[in-house]
């Protein structure tokens, strides 16, 4: 224990989570795997420096051979509606009662990793697993899980890129992914996880080895854990088969994480010239050729391998106080889910309980009594050129788009720094992934000197001017404005906005 330091302050009921045994377990994972994690992060940078993306020659056999992942476990058999949300107690109860089949309990895109969120989230997850989760709001409203069939909990730990500054082992910070997974698995024995932001099959292999050791250390049978991997980076799109193969004894499916995927496309090609400059965020829809290629390949890969293909998040949020906003959100979400169900997905995500019925209805119509449509393997081939066809994305870079990116980015960072990692902004769900798009788009437009629809070229002065106007209209935004400038305008592009942001909380 002497070499395990907890640097975060006290959190209510935190001692139930940060027990010597649980910390020892996390330290064991850290000692075995942190070094490999470091090498894999360095490998991300090396791969981008090469500037080339293609299917790998050395894994051709994995793509061509016949194999399948382990059989789907009973509780994950039917995933037609999954609700996502942070592990805050009220939302946790609401998600479990929402009628969705799965609750993606999010320690990643929807969560600010304040220490009290990290530890408090584990308290909520433990109570939920034990069936004792309850909450009373400041207004005195009582929340308890009453659903006959509460959603199955699937936990999303943070990605490989972040270290947690509140736990040190042998003098160094522990990868946040190992903190989140380790504490959760120690207290609840899993067994279901979503794995975010992977860039390669070697990162999947690392997760597989973490699962193997974790199960062995705690005497849990090998293969109990089941992971759904988000394909939400462009490098990972070229290794879908390989990722499932590495995790085949622990894999449950793949998910099309569209927002981080777009972020990754911009990030990977941020200085690759005009053919790779994306237009306004709201014009890049899932019907853009490169997005269609990505989801087609995902569904085909999953179904060939017996895994579930889970759709992504439409960002439109209903508003119980504004029927027009709600009607628009329902129509947009319905169209999105119909596209996904028609393309072969087995289920999809919603961001709000009021969207559960529409997603369920759309998938009920396509699935009928069957729990999924894994037996449907769509024909066709997706080539590297299809995945990389950024140039055919319709839309323009506009002055309104620039303002919106800056405005949403600053508003979101205000929320994130304040401890709330998902927010409804202008009736859209914004989280770390969508904010990454906003700031990366500004960086890309600036680097490429993009000319907007108004004829104005994007320069540092133009961005500074918009940022000053946005900041002036938002009281208390100084820290968020400064952070936005750092992540959208720095000469050297920061890989993740959450890394510098984390040092400020």
Which residues are near ligand O=CC(=O)O by CB under 6 A?
109, 230, 232, 257-260, 312-313, 433
CB of 93 vs ligand O=CC(=O)O, minimal distance in Å: 22
127 lies in the binding site for Mg ion (CB under 5 A): no
Q: Please, which residue, 86 or 401, has the CB nearer to ligand ACO? A: 86
Q: Are 236 and 256 in contact (CB under 8 A)?
A: no
CB of 292 vs ligand O=CC(=O)O, minimal distance in Å: 16
Residues linked to residue 430 through DSSP beta bridges, in sequence order: 423
346 lies in the binding site for Mg ion (CB under 5 A): no
Q: Are 146 and 41 in contact (CB under 8 A)?
A: no
3-state helix/strand/coil string of 118-165: HHHHHHHHHHHHHCCCEEECCCCCEEECCCCCCCEEEEECCCCCCEEE
313 lies in the binding site for ligand ACO (CB under 6 A): yes
Residues linked to residue 81 through DSSP beta bridges, in sequence order: 348
Q: Which of ligand O=CC(=O)O, Mg ion, ligand ACO, none has residue 85 at its interface (CB below 5 to 8 Å by kind)?
A: ligand ACO
CB of 172 vs ligand ACO, minimal distance in Å: 28
Q: Which of 78, 106, 242, 340: binder of ligand ACO (CB under 6 A)?
A: 106
Residues linked to residue 105 through DSSP beta bridges, in sequence order: 85, 155
422 lies in the binding site for ligand ACO (CB under 6 A): yes
Q: Please, which residue, 258 or 374, has the CB nearer to ligand O=CC(=O)O? A: 258
First to last CA, the chain: 26
Q: Which of 350, 234, 389 is closest to 298 using CA atoms?
A: 234
Q: Please, which residue, 127 or 199, has the CB nearer to ligand O=CC(=O)O? A: 199
Task: Report how far residue 484's alpha carbon sits from residue 474's, in angstroms, rounded to the nearest whole number.
Answer: 14
Clarify whether 431 is annotated catalytic: yes
Clarify whether 504 is annotated catalytic: no
CA distances from 64 to 249, 335, 380 (A): 19, 34, 15
Helix (H, G, I), strand (E, B) or coil at 261: helix
CB of 110 vs ligand ACO, minimal distance in Å: 4
Q: What is the CA 101 to chain-centroid distance, rounded?
A: 19
Q: Which helix (H) or strand (E) holds 31?
A: helix 20-50
Q: Reply yes or no: is the peptide bond before residue 191 cis, omega within 30 of 0.
A: yes
Task: Report how far residue 249's alpha carbon sits from residue 73's, in angstroms, rounded to the nearest whole number.
Answer: 12
CB of 187 vs ligand ACO, minimal distance in Å: 22
Q: Please, which residue, 106 or 372, has the CB nearer to Mg ion? A: 106
Helix axes 432-447, 478-489, angle to 10 degrees: 50
CB of 59 vs ligand ACO, minimal distance in Å: 28
Task: Report how far residue 497's alpha carbon sits from residue 502's, in angstroms, rounded to the nearest whole number.
Answer: 9
Q: Which of 109, 199, 372, 407: binder of ligand ACO (CB under 6 A)?
A: 109
Strands 172-175, 251-256: parallel, antiparallel or unpaired by DSSP? unpaired
Q: Which of ligand ACO, Mg ion, ligand O=CC(=O)O, none has residue 78 at its interface (CB below 5 to 8 Å by kind)?
A: none
Which residue has 């990116």 as its token pair?
405
Phi/psi of residue 74, nearest 5 degrees: -45, -50
Q: Which of 288, 269, 275, 274 is closest to 457 using CA atoms?
A: 274
User: Angle CA(332)–CA(85)–CA(213) in degrees, nearest 5?
Assistant: 125
Could you say which of 156, 258, 300, 374 is catalytic? 156
436 lies in the binding site for ligand ACO (CB under 6 A): no
Q: Which of ligand O=CC(=O)O, ligand ACO, Mg ion, none has residue 177 at its interface (CB below 5 to 8 Å by kind)?
A: none
CB of 310 vs ligand O=CC(=O)O, minimal distance in Å: 10
Q: Please, which residue, 303 or 352, has the CB nearer to ligand ACO? A: 352
CB of 201 vs Mg ion, minimal distance in Å: 19
Any idea of the CA torsion for 269, 275, 277, 282, to the nearest 10 degrees? -120
180 lies in the binding site for ligand ACO (CB under 6 A): no
Could you say which of 164, 280, 296, 431 is catalytic? 431
DSSP state of 452: P
Q: Please, which residue, 299 or 466, has the CB nearer to ligand O=CC(=O)O? A: 299
Q: Tell which positions 236-265 bind Mg ion, by CB under 5 A.
A: 257, 260
431 lies in the binding site for ligand ACO (CB under 6 A): yes
334 lies in the binding site for ligand ACO (CB under 6 A): no
Q: Which residues bind Mg ion (CB under 5 A)?
A: 109, 232, 257, 260, 433
Active site residues: 156, 431
The residue ranges that bind ligand ACO (CB under 6 A) are: 83-85, 90-91, 94-95, 106, 109-110, 259, 313, 317, 320, 351-353, 422-424, 429, 431, 433
């Amino acid at each position: 224990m002497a070499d395990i330091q907890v640097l975060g302050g006290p959190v209510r009921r935190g001692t139930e989570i940060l027990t010597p045994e649980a910390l020892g377990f996390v330290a064991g994972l850290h000692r075995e795997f942190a070094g490999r994690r470091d090498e894999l992060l360095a490998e991300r940078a090396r791969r981008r420096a090469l500037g080339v993306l293609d299917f790998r020659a050395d894994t051709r056999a994995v793509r061509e051979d016949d194999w399948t992942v382990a059989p789907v476990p009973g509780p994950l058999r039917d995933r037609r509606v999954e609700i996502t949300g942070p592990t805050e107690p009220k939302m946790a109860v609401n998600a479990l009662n929402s009628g969705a089949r799965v609750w993606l309990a999010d320690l990643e895109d929807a969560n600010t990793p304040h220490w009290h969120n990290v530890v408090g989230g584990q308290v909520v997850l433990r109570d939920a697993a034990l069936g004792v989760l309850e909450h009373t709001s400041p207004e005195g409203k009582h929340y308890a899980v009453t659903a006959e069939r509460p959603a199955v909990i699937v936990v999303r730990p943070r990605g490989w890129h972040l270290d947690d500054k509140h736990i040190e082992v042998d003098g160094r910070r522990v990868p946040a992914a190992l903190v989140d997974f380790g504490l959760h698995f120690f207290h609840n024995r899993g067994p279901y996880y979503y794995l975010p932001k992977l860039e390669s099959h070697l990162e999947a292999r690392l997760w597989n080895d973490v699962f193997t050791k974790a199960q062995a250390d705690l005497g849990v049978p090998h293969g109990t854990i089941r992971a759904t991997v988000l394909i939400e980076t462009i490098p990972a799109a070229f290794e879908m088969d390989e990722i499932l193969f590495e995790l085949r004894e622990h894999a449950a499916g793949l998910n099309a994480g569209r927002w981080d995927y777009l972020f990754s496309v911009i990030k990977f090609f941020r200085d690759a010239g005009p053919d790779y400059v994306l237009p306004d965020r709201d014009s890049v829809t899932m019907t853009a050729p490169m997005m269609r290629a990505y989801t087609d390949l995902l569904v085909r890969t999953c179904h060939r391998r017996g895994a579930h293909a889970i759709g992504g998040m439409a960002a439109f949020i209903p508003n119980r106080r504004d029927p027009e906003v709600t009607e628009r959100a329902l129509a947009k979400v319905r169209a999105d889910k119909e596209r996904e169900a028609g393309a072969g997905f087995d289920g999809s995500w919603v961001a709000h309980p009021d969207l559960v019925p529409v997603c369920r209805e759309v998938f009920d119509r396509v699935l009928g009594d069957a729990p999924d449509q894994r037996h449907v393997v769509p024909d066709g081939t997706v080539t590297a050129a299809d995945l990389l066809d950024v140039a055919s994305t319709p839309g323009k870079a506009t002055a309104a788009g620039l303002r919106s990116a800056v405005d949403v980015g600053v508003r979101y960072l205000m929320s994130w720094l304040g401890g709330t990692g998902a927010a409804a902004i202008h009736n859209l769900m914004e989280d770390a992934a969508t904010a990454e798009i906003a700031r990366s788009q500004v960086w890309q437009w600036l680097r490429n000197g993009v000319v907007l629809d108004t004829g104005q070229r994007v320069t540092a002065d133009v961005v500074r001017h918009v940022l000053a106007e946005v900041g002036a209209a938002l009281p208390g935004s100084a820290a968020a404005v400064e952070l936005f400038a750092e992540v959208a305008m720095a000469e050297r592009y920061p890989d993740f906005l959450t890394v510098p942001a984390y040092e400020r909380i």
